[in-house]
Amino acid sequence: MTEELIMKLGADTLRTTAMLSAPLLGAALVTGLVVSVLQAITQINEQTLTFIPKMIIIGVVLILAGPWMLDVLSQFTVNLFENMSMFVRE
C-alpha cells in the first residue's frame, strides 16, 4: 500500500464519518440552542432540561435519515471490500 492510497482511504473514511454524523450533530445543536434560548427567556436554570428534547430529536432524525445513513455506510463498505485486492497489490 502506498502512502497516497492510505491518505485517500483515510480521507474517504473521514468524509463518510462526517456525512453520517452531521444530521445527528446538527439536530442536537439546533435543539440545544432552542432550549437554551427558551431557558434564558424564562430564566429556568435547569441543566438537565435539554436532555429529553435532544434525545427525542435524535430519535426522529435517526428514523428519518437512518435509511440514507445505512445506504451511505453500506456503499462505502462494499466499495472498500470490492477494491481490497487492488489496495493490497499497490
Could you write out the three-class secondary structure of the chain? Answer: CCHHHHHHHHHHHHHHHHHHHHHHHHHHHHHHHHHHHHHHHHCCCCHHHHHHHHHHHHHHHHHHHHHHHHHHHHHHHHHHHHCHHHHHHC
Q: What is the pTM of this model?
A: 0.79
Using a pLDDT cut of 70, give the percent of the chain over it: 99
pLDDT of amino acid 1: 73
Angle formed by the axes of helices 3-42 and 51-82, nearest 10°: 170
Average pLDDT over residues 40-59: 88
pLDDT in tens, 25-48: 999 999 999 998 998 898 888 878
Determine contact, residues 23/65, Cβ cutoff 8 Å.
Answer: yes
